[in-house]
């Protein structure tokens, strides 16, 4: 027979992707799946032991893919597939140097993260953390309805405030999808600050502006100073890593409007937590909505941001809808298969 039997390729999977997605890997005869069996972040020791000789590894943002990882995996390794759009946990230089391929999950989570960005902006403006605590603690009876109690700034435009500026730090897919949502609230102006080393995208911006007319009056790329000073809502949606570390610092926060809110649905490292806690305590800004905090998940109850009633915090759940996580897991599985077979990967990062 012409049939050549070869050993199945090993693929290490750092989290169980569930009954709808695991079969993409487990039903293939050409793959041997090694799965971290527990429902928590994969232990480093287990990972390093099991990736030896693997052709592909499917990782989460909690798994650090560095030189040690790649060296340990050895020369059979062809692909790393992360179930995330972010890849700060992956050493790209090492991946490129070794001629490896990297799969990630862009696009599928754009809408879920745009949704939560709007949610956090509304929560921050409308004092959700503070006011829900009143209800939860049984204090509602003390707060009879009164004309201006518990008010916050309105995100949508009104007859009295006919213009609103939304500002984005980073202006990729997720920011653009968030802008679409904000436009339906009547936001009139959009400014953004994005990677200063990438060329301005004038044609793209013209098209986005046109798409949202007549509601949206202007769309401009600005410097950080202008972003801080002119935005009613600042939404942070840029990659993490060293280059963007603490871009939102004391200087930025001091320039923001007193009624403005800050949202971070990207990476905790972009925002200096101590500066933000101070800004909230001293009321330089109105409030904050955070899906991410530097140092997560090790955020204990005595973290300075948890002491600020105007800080609305959720634990990195931006992409956590059934639909989106299914999409991300499927894409991550398809990516690792494509990479191992040397085929097209549905979402491969250009290195
Ligand atoms: C990502 O995909 O990078 C998110 O932070 C996790 O969903």
Pairing of strands 218-221, 165-169: unpaired
CA–centroid distance, 148 to ligand 1, in Å, is 39
Write the DSSP assignment of 108-165 as a string of letters.
Answer: TTHHHHHHHHHHHHHHHHTTHHHHHHHHHTT-GGG----TTTT----SS--SSS---E
Ligand 1 contacts (CB < 6 A) are 61, 84-86, 109, 319
Per-residue pLDDT at 196: 85
Q: Where are the domains of the chain?
A: 9-107+323-341, 110-313
Which top CATH class is 9-107+323-341? Answer: alpha beta
Residue of minimum CA distance from atom 6 in ligand 1: 84
Q: How far is the CA of 127 from the centre of ligand 1 (A)?
A: 26
Positions in the chain whose pLDDT score sits under 50: 1-2
Give dist(CA 270, CA 169) in Å, integer. Answer: 10
* Spacing, Cα 277 to ligand 1 middle (Å): 24
pLDDT at 3: 53
Instruction: Return the best residue to mutate from 84, 322, 325 for the ligand 1 pocket (most ligand atoms within 8 A of CB).
Output: 84
Q: Whose CA is nearest to atom 2 of ligand 1?
A: 84
Q: What is the pLDDT of residues 191-207, one digit of tens each?
A: 999 998 888 899 999 99
What's the CATH superfamily of 110-313? NAD(P)-binding Rossmann-like Domain (3.40.50.720)
Q: pTM for this one? A: 0.95
Domains 9-107+323-341 and 110-313 share a fold: yes
Which residue, 65, 19, 70, 56, is CA-closest to 337?
A: 56
Catalytic positions are 267, 296, 316
Residue 74 has what pLDDT? 98
């Amino acid at each position: 027979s012409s049939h050549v039997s070869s050993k199945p390729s090993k693929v290490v999977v750092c989290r169980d992707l569930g009954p709808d997605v695991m079969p993409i890997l487990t039903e293939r005869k050409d793959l041997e799946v090694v799965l971290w069996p527990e429902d928590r972040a994969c232990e480093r020791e287990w990972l390093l032991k099991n990736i030896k000789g693997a052709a592909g590894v499917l990782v989460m943002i909690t798994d650090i893919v560095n030189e040690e990882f790649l060296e340990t995996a050895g020369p059979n390794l062809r692909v790393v597939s992360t179930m995330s759009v972010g890849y700060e946990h992956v050493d790209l230089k090492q991946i490129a140097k070794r001629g490896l391929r990297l799969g990630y999950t862009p696009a599928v989570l754009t809408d879920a993260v745009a949704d939560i960005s709007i949610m956090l902006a509304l929560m921050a403006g409308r004092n959700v953390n503070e006011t829900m605590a009143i209800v939860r603690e049984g204090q509602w009876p003390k707060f009879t309805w009164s004309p201006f109690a518990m008010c916050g700034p309105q995100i949508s435009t009104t007859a009295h405030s006919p213009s609103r500026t939304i500002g984005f730090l980073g202006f990729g897919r997720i920011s653009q999808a968030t802008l679409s949502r904000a436009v339906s609230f009547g936001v009139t102006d959009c400014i953004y600050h994005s990677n200063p080393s990438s060329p301005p995208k004038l044609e793209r911006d013209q098209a986005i502006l046109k798409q949202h007319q007549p509601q949206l009056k202007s769309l401009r790329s600005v410097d950080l100073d202008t972003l801080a000073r002119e935005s009613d809502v600042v939404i942070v949606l840029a990659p993490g890593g060293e280059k963007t570390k603490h871009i939102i610092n004391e200087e930025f926060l001091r320039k923001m409007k007193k009624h403005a809110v800050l949202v971070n649905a990207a990476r905790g490292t972009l925002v200096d937590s101590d500066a933000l806690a101070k800004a909230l305590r001293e009321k330089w800004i109105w409030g904050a909505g955070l899906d991410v905090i530097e140092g997560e998940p090790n955020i204990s109850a005595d973290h300075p941001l948890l002491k600020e009633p105007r800080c609305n915090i959720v634990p990195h759940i931006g992409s956590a809808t059934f639909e989106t996580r299914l999409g991300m897991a499927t894409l991550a599985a398809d990516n690792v298969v494509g990479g191992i077979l040397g085929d097209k990967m549905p979402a491969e990062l250009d290195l």
